[in-house]
Homo-oligomer: A and B are copies of this chain.
């Protein structure tokens, strides 16, 4: 069986997650809804640690929400208890209030699963979508350029 190779572009936000007992099902592999939990955690950390926006404050203080509008996910290789997986976040599209993100789960250069998701930014008070604030948009665009350029470079080199 051929596996998809994956090396995250330089600068891509990547975090490791240990696969725990609590993640695994009677078949001994990760029960899939837990991946979505991990993705949400990665997005939180990306806002806070990479973009410099405290995710908890955005929600609890500024009363913003970031509901998912669309998710799709391809599960390629299962992960087992004791594995450590790497999750990398890539920006795919920056809309007015929406954000298209890909999260790739990989290990040792092999892609295990890939999710593409669209989140919207909304006001928790009006329950309506709001435009991404310009400073946040600029920060996300800088991340996009930074990680896309180097990905393109990587591809060009292969």
**On chain A, which size bracket covers the interface?**
35 or more
- Chain B residues whose CB sits within 8 angstroms of the CB of A81 once the complex forms: 26, 56, 59-60
Dominant secondary structure at the A interface: mixed
Q: Which of A6-14, A32-40, A130-138 contacts B (4 or more CB under 8 A)?
A: A32-40
With known contacts A21-B44, A32-B68, A36-B32, A57–B74 Cβ distance under 8 A: no
What is the count of identical protomers in the complex? 4
The residue of chain B having its C-beta at the shortest distance from the C-beta of A82 within the complex is B56
- Chain B residues whose CB sits within 8 angstroms of the CB of A124 once the complex forms: 27
The residue of chain B having its C-beta at the shortest distance from the C-beta of A74 within the complex is B70
A55-88 vs B, Cβ < 8 Å mask (1 yes, 0 no): 1110110000101111111110010111000000
Interface pairs (14), CB distance under 8 Å: A21-B26, A21-B59, A22-B25, A22-B31, A22-B37, A25-B25, A32-B36, A57-B82, A60-B80, A60-B82, A67-B78, A70-B72, A70-B73, A72-B73
